[in-house]
Amino acid sequence: MFIQKRYIRSLLSLPLAGLLFMLLGTQQITAAPVDSLLPERSEQEISQKWTQWMSGKDQTATFTQNPSTKAPYVAGVVSDSTLEQALGAANFYRYLSGLDGDLVLDAALNRQAQHGAVVVSTGELTHFPARPADMAKDFFDLGAKSTSSSNLYASYGAQGNLAVKSVEAYMDDSDASNIAALGHRRWILSPQLKKVGFGIASRDNKNYASHFSTMQVMDTSRSGKLNYNYNLYPNKGAFPIEAFNVSQAWSAQLNPDVFVKPSNSEVQVEIVRSSDQKTWVLGAKTPVSSDPAKAFFNVNTDGYGYNYAVIFRPDNLKSLKAGDTFNVRITGLKKKDGSKAEISYQTRFFSVSNPSQEPVTDPQNPGTDPQDPGADPQNPDTGNEDYLDNHLMQFEYTADRTLKVRGTLTAYAGKTFSFQIHGPSPDEKHIRTETVKLDANGRFSLTVPNLGVSDLTIYLQVDPSFMYLIPTASNSDVTYYFE
């Protein structure tokens, strides 16, 4: 087969905006996909963290000193084991979203939160409770300081660890009074959060909830500044069905240092279920409904968790099961540099009780199953392999809609690239995202079958700040030269 070589040295060294202009001519410049810059967790990693942090989540809460929610009031002290279980739950959910699961308990915040739990138990659930006439002012002041800077939770039942259950409820946050902002979830997923504290108290309130928990979440003591564009819940890649259900809202938390404040009228979300290609398009025209079975959409730019949020939920999802896969595309975003942006990702649900055996890619043979270390090597290197010369990358798109990419870029040896594969212009509907790791010699190959469209628009991201645009026509075989 004749291979056409396009030496586009000067073209591919241009910034993305210039590249789009030269390749697309008079066509409208499209929004560039933006990566989160946060890691995608594997099923095995998530299952390990579930065992580490969540296996004891249903153990009953205990105290080293019992609180008193009637005069004379006593804050009480929650046991270390109960606090550690709650901390583990918070770290688990942060880890799922791609953040570090490294929150720590702070003794002063635990004491403050415990006072807050006692104070909030004396009346209705509010961040600004009234002081009971028989409560000392200094006790109330510390408790009120907690309630005004904490996530608050109330329950009719006290089974298990109430602080853990509160974290699970905060991450759900999809009831009628909270779904529009997801404030509790966003505080837990705040990139600035490092120190937390928990409190638990119970009181017989007859016709009202009797069990209360506080979680201090407005800490900003984390050192350094996280380099990220956004975080997701549920996250891209593998995600456990034990941590999500059909009535919960999906959300993307946007870094306000990167994105312009998003507009509810401009942002749109498209969700495609892979199994049957059922598609949901959500935006400002989505009817507002508090029904957990109905679709939901909102953009919230309040300061919860120090980020903006795009919040959405598809309707008519009867259940979620292991293997369910959804492709999500969020458009209508703008970055602070004035460029248009979009977020595209895929979420695949699985069960931590039965994780699949994910193949670990052999960097010498990407796309193949790993070799059994006890078996003879498969297809040993004889020195006769048909490798491309350095700086060359070949894109072949066959008539049966299979994309084949291979190349040699020694300057990027050992690095990981992402190929964001879209349909043809002008819609450029996102199809899927694939990643490859270059071997020690800078070589890689990638095969993606069953893409189902005539032409492709491929964004090749070589690092967080730079990507190439490669239009690929059906039944084509083109080799490019990369500097």
pLDDT digits (tens, 9 = 90+) for 190-211: 999 999 999 999 998 766 778 9
185 and 117 co-located in one domain: yes
CATH of the domain at 273: 2.60.40.1220
> Band of the pLDDT at 466, cuts 50, 70, 90?
low
Decide if 3 is inside a domain: no
Q: Which two tokens stand for residue 76?
A: 């009480």
Query: Is it the case that residue 427 has pLDDT exceeding 80?
Result: no
Decide if 157 is inside a domain: yes
Q: Comparing 191 with 355, which gets the higher pLDDT? A: 191
> Band of the pLDDT at 306, cuts 50, 70, 90?
very high
Query: Read out DSSP for 184-211?
Result: HHHHHT-TT--EEEEEEEE---TTS--E
> Band of the pLDDT at 107, cuts 50, 70, 90?
very high
Q: What percent of the chain has pLDDT over 70?
A: 85
Decide if 359 is inside a domain: no
159 and 288 co-located in one domain: no
Q: Which of 297, 331, 350 is the last residue of a domain?
A: 350
Decide if 380 is inside a domain: no
* Least confident range of 89-93, 107-111, 318-322, 352-356: 352-356
148 and 198 co-located in one domain: yes
Q: Which two tokens stand for residue 127?
A: 């961040």
212 and 239 co-located in one domain: no
165 and 99 co-located in one domain: yes
CATH of the domain at 464: 2.60.40.1930
Query: Is it the case that residue 279 has pLDDT exceeding 70?
Result: yes
Query: Is it the case that residue 28 has pLDDT exceeding 50?
Result: no
pLDDT of residue 30: 65
pTM of the model: 0.70
135 and 261 co-located in one domain: no
**Are 197 and 108 within 8 A, CB to CB?**
yes
* Bridge partner list, 472: 456
The Cα–Cα gap between 279 and 215 comes to 38
Query: Is it the case that residue 52 has pLDDT exceeding 70?
Result: yes
Range of the domain at 419: 392-481
The Cα–Cα gap between 293 and 78 comes to 37
Question: Averaged over 10-32, what is the pLDDT?
Answer: 41
Q: Which two tokens stand for residue 245?
A: 């259900």
80 and 194 co-located in one domain: yes
The Cα–Cα gap between 71 and 136 comes to 9
Decide if 21 is inside a domain: no
Decide if 326 is inside a domain: yes
Question: Averaged over 39-43, what is the pLDDT?
Answer: 96
Q: Which two tokens stand for residue 108?
A: 């002063």
Question: Averaged over 418-433, what is the pLDDT?
Answer: 80
192 and 71 co-located in one domain: yes
The Cα–Cα gap between 184 and 152 comes to 9
Q: Comparing 124 with 350, which gets the higher pLDDT? A: 350
CATH of the domain at 90: 3.40.33.10
CA dihedral 326, 332, 338, 343 (to 10 degrees): 0
The Cα–Cα gap between 353 and 248 comes to 21
pLDDT of residue 22: 32
pLDDT of residue 207: 63
Q: Which of 188, 216, 244 is the last residue of a domain?
A: 216
- Residues 376-394: pLDDT tens digits? 322 333 333 457 778 788 8
> Band of the pLDDT at 465, cuts 50, 70, 90?
low
330 and 197 co-located in one domain: no
240 and 211 co-located in one domain: no
For the chain, what is the domain count?
Answer: 3
Q: Which of 216, 243, 264 is the last residue of a domain?
A: 216
pLDDT of residue 426: 59
pLDDT of residue 425: 67
Decide if 369 is inside a domain: no
Q: Comparing 61 with 418, which gets the higher pLDDT? A: 61
The Cα–Cα gap between 218 and 278 comes to 40
Q: Which two tokens stand for residue 343?
A: 């977020």
Q: Comparing 63 with 412, which gets the higher pLDDT? A: 63
Decide if 466 is inside a domain: yes
pLDDT of residue 31: 79
- Number of residues that make up the chain: 483
Q: How far, CA to CA in Å, does 217 sit from each of 170, 239, 459?
A: 11, 24, 38
340 and 195 co-located in one domain: no
- 162: enclosing H helix or E strand: helix 162-172
> Band of the pLDDT at 289, cuts 50, 70, 90?
confident
179 and 311 co-located in one domain: no
